[in-house]
Amino acid sequence: MTALLQYIRKQISKRVLIPIAGIRKQGVSTETLAFSVAIGVVGGAFPVLGLASYICLIMTLSFRQNIIIVQVANWLAYPIQIILLIPFMKLGHSIFAGGDLTITMHQVTVAFQSGIINGFREIGLISLYGIIAWTALSIPCLFIFYTLFLLFFRNVKRLKFKTSMVVSCKPKAIRDHILPMKNSLIVETIPTESNNLKAS
């Protein structure tokens, strides 16, 4: 169990934390951030095991987005690919072939264990149905996700700005509680020549 947790932490650090640290140094715009994340999520749902990263790369180059952000989002979206793999296949099968499709995730995993080519040999037609269904839904989903992520990241920036404004006001509020020092007049007597003559 400890080894598994260490592996997960290592992967999160390698695939998420370190790339995000590099992204912050680049000063990426909100629009680029939102669109790159949308590409990572949509491309990460590509219904063929082992090809999602390549699809994300093609989409990144086509739309000229930030490849680091896309790959981070793609890695985080991996569970979405597993969840939607069978539904995409069933949707494509129902559109083009009709009827119900009986296939399990175990069958897909076993088919692709020996490689992508062997997987296509085993369930090539069913995978093609899934790819067609994904293609039909990917374009509208891409712009829907882009809009949602754009709104989200803009609101996050506003929230950070408001928070920073509140923090910057705290020192002034603290200074207001400190009583100001009153100006005082110091009179110093300087001996004159007349005083010196009298003294003599």
17-31 pLDDT, tens digit each: 666 666 656 778 889
Inside any domain, residue 74: yes
How far is the C-alpha of 39 from the C-alpha of 63, rounded, in Å? 9
Q: What does each C-alpha distance from 126 to 52, 54, 90, 104, 129 come to in angstroms?
A: 17, 20, 8, 12, 5
**This prediction's pTM:** 0.70
Geometric angle at alpha carbon 106, from 4 and 126, rounded to 5°? 130
Inside any domain, residue 1: no
How far is the C-alpha of 20 from the C-alpha of 24, rounded, in Å? 6
Residue numbers of the domain that contains 26: 10-195
Inside any domain, residue 39: yes
Average pLDDT taken over every residue of the chain = 78
Inside any domain, residue 2: no
Inside any domain, residue 157: yes
Sequence-separated (6 or more) residues with CB below 8 Å from residue 29: none
Inside any domain, residue 3: no
Geometric angle at alpha carbon 46, from 125 and 84, rounded to 5°? 85
- Of 5-14, 30-39, 188-197, the one with minimum mean pLDDT is 188-197
Inside any domain, residue 40: yes
Inside any domain, residue 141: yes
Number of domains in the chain: 1
